[in-house]
Amino acid sequence: MIMRQTPVTGFMLHTRAYRETSKLCSFFSVEFGLIRAVARKSVPLFQHLQVSMTGKQGLKSLSKPENLVILPALADQALYAGLYLNELLYRLLPELEPYPATFSAYSKALRLLSGDEPLEPLELKRLLRHTELVLLKEHGYEISFEYNSQQEPIDPQARYHYDPQSGWIPVQAYSPDHPSFTGAWIVTFNPQRTLDTDLSDLGRLCRICLDQLLDHKPLETRKLWLQLYT
């Protein structure tokens, strides 16, 4: 893809030092999805920006960052939640492939995280799980809550493991070493109306899928969250 001073809008997800005077950037744009680029100036995280991209193949050159909307700075748990979402996106998104639903969910998440009042812990978890579900669906991991791996209706009386490749697999007995889900929870769960009582099981389910996509390589922000808030 050839870009010549192409204006793109989106959010900076991650930067690190590159050579002596530049930074290697991961920029999430609404037009092209994830773009790997080199920038000479510092570009802030968690701000809705317009930037100019130039380049043919491989790394692009990013310049002329301008704020489209100035969001309040994130702090405390909101900051670590934002960093967690950023790490998920720059590690999982393919380059130069638009992810409009994920972009919309991420934009909404940043607006809520930067609100005047800090989110309550359950609201924060709900926000993260919703964003994860959108990312998983757009990444091709849409979860069925109606049928098992054999395309049979979920039995409310049974227990199931979840395999991201196959779906819900019935298990004969509960084992603390192999976490499972009740059929009753699966068939009553509504992704559009997540209850407080859903968040524990939903968190385990999203983690199973995300760990598969990450090839079971740990997220640095997840480790930091556990150190600070557990």
What is the pLDDT, as a whole number, of residue 96?
A: 93
Indicate whether this model's pTM tops 0.75. yes
- Residue 160: Cβ-neighbour burial (10 angstroms; 0-12, 13-18, 19+): buried
What length is written for the chain? 230
Residue 206: alpha-carbon gap to chain centroid: 10
Q: pLDDT 10s per residue in the chain (230 long)? A: 667 888 999 999 999 988 888 899 999 999 999 999 999 888 999 999 999 999 887 789 999 999 888 889 899 999 999 999 999 999 999 999 999 999 999 999 999 999 988 999 999 999 999 999 999 999 998 899 999 999 999 999 999 999 998 999 999 766 666 779 999 999 999 988 899 999 999 999 999 999 999 999 999 988 777 766 65
Question: Torsion angle of alpha carbons 138, 46, 68, 109, nearest 10°?
Answer: 50
Question: Torsion angle of alpha carbons 35, 38, 39, 45, nearest 10°?
Answer: 40
Tell me how far apart the alpha carbons of residues 95 and 103 are, in angstroms, rounded to a whole number. 14
Tell me how far apart the alpha carbons of residues 181 and 174 are, in angstroms, rounded to a whole number. 9
What is the pLDDT, as a whole number, of residue 142?
A: 86
What is the pLDDT, as a whole number, of residue 70?
A: 85
Residue 7: alpha-carbon gap to chain centroid: 24
Which amino acid, 154? I
Which amino acid, 74? L
**Which residue matches tokens 């050579």?**
19
Give all domains of the chain, ordered by start, each with its CATH number.
Answer: 3-69 (2.40.50.140), 76-143+189-229 (1.20.1440.120)
